[in-house]
């Protein structure tokens, strides 16, 4: 058998799914346009006011805001995956695709790729748009920041697969997904530093991928080298490995 065949199939299905996604206006606006617009509006308003300030508040905003926006991009990508997988399963699309030579891995990897590509597009648009309005935009390592976000999204997507597997109907999957994913926000160190959280919350935060995403994203944004965040990277890979293992056990095609 042709060795490249699985790659070609993956490429074809990914391109097709991207086109199909782009045909749904609401999905495109929700995943790409709104985060970018939000960042631009906030960046412009705060950027002007905080432009010359050197206070802690200013620093918090100059790092916190882009990281928050990035985290929202990652979460909305995962929520979109949860919705799509549950709709595809409920309407028999997954089952129909599975009864072809496509193979289950190709079908699922396609959806991960689609979400990562959309995340990359969104964050690129956000950074380009932000550059004009945002004071911290000039010397930010954009490529590294994007990779940090893709790694975070990839890791959290595996949680999305577990949610999409456990919830039976397409109607309840997105709300539960929101609950779980947005529920992680208070523990991620973005609004309140992890050290000042109550000790129980600190323990919980250790098991949530968002804490490591936030740490990695803010570090990279401020110019840290990757070597300073190997622990975060390892934690995100571990979350992916564990969740993918669980998801492969509980995933249902119909």
Partner 1 sequence: MTSPPVVRVSGIRKTYGRTVAVEDVSFEVQRGEIFGLIGPNGAGKTTTMECVEGLRHPDHGRIEVFGLDPVVDIGALQSRIGVQLQEAQLQKRIKVWEAVDLWASLYANTLDADRLLDQLGLTDKRHAWFMTLSGGQKQRLFIALALINDPELVFLDELTTGLDPQARRAIWDLVRDIRERGKTVFLTTHLMEEAERLCDRVAIIEHGRIIDLDTPARLVARHCPERAVVVATAHDDAASRFLAIPSVETVDIVEDDGRLTIRGRGDDLVTEVIHCLSEHRMRVTEFATEQPTLEDVFLKLTGHSIRD
* 237 binds partner 1 per the rule CB under 8 A: no
Residues 6+ apart with CB under 8 A from 160: 78, 79, 81, 82, 85, 177
CA distance 213 to 194: 13
Q: What share of the chain is helix, strand, coil (3-state, %, to 5)?
A: 80, 0, 20
Secondary structure class of 205 (helix, strand, coil): helix
* Among the listed residues 29, 49, 57, 95, the single contact to partner 1 using CB under 8 A: 95
> Shortest gap between Cβ of 161 and partner 1 (angstroms)?
19
Burial of 130 (0-12, 13-18, 19+ CB in 10 A): buried
Q: Smallest Cα–Cα separation from 37: which of 73, 71, 67?
A: 73
> Among residues 8 and 132, whose Cβ is nearest to partner 1?
8
Between the alpha carbon of residue 54 and those of residues 49, 76, 221, the distances in Å are 11, 32, 17
> Shortest gap between Cβ of 34 and partner 1 (angstroms)?
20
- Do residues 94 and 88 make contact, with C-beta atoms less than 8 angstroms apart? yes
* 7 binds partner 1 per the rule CB under 8 A: no
* Among the listed residues 7, 20, 48, 250, the single contact to partner 1 using CB under 8 A: 20
> Among residues 24 and 234, whose Cβ is nearest to partner 1?
24
Residues 6+ apart with CB under 8 A from 61: 46, 50
> Among residues 16 and 53, whose Cβ is nearest to partner 1?
16
* 179 binds partner 1 per the rule CB under 8 A: no
* Among the listed residues 18, 28, 93, 120, the single contact to partner 1 using CB under 8 A: 93
Residue 82: both structure tokens together: 């949860």
> Among residues 105 and 230, whose Cβ is nearest to partner 1?
105
* 91 binds partner 1 per the rule CB under 8 A: yes
Encoded one letter per residue, x for contact with partner 1 by CB under 8 A and - for no contact, window 96-135 reads: x-xxxxx---------------------------------
Residues that bind partner 1 (CB under 8 A): 8-9, 12-13, 16-17, 19-20, 23-24, 88, 91-93, 95-96, 98-102
């Amino acid at each position: 058998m042709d060795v490249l065949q699985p790659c070609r199939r993956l490429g074809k299905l990914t391109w097709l799914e991207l086109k199909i996604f782009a045909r749904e206006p609401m999905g495109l606006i929700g995943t790409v346009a709104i985060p970018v617009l939000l960042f631009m509006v906030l960046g412009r308003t705060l950027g002007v006011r905080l432009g010359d300030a050197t206070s802690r508040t200013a620093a918090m905003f100059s790092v916190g805001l882009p990281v928050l926006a990035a985290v929202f991009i990652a979460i909305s990508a995962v929520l979109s995956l949860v919705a799509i997988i549950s709709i595809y399963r409920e309407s028999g699309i997954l089952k129909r695709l599975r009864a072809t030579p496509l193979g289950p891995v190709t079908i699922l990897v396609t959806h991960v790729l689609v979400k990562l590509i959309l995340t990359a597009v969104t964050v690129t648009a956000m950074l380009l748009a932000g550059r004009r309005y945002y004071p911290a935009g000039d010397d930010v390592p954009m490529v590294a920041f994007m990779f940090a976000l893709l790694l975070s999204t990839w890791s959290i997507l595996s949680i999305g697969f577990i949610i999409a597997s456990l919830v039976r109907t397409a109607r309840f999957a997105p709300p539960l997904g929101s609950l779980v994913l947005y529920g992680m926000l208070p523990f991620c160190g973005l609004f309140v530093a992890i050290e000042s959280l109550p000790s129980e919350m600190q323990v919980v935060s250790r098991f949530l991928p968002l804490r490591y995403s936030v740490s990695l994203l803010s570090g990279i944004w401020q110019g840290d080298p990757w070597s300073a965040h190997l622990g975060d990277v390892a934690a995100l890979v571990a979350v992916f490995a564990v969740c993918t293992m669980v998801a492969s056990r509980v995933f249902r095609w119909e």
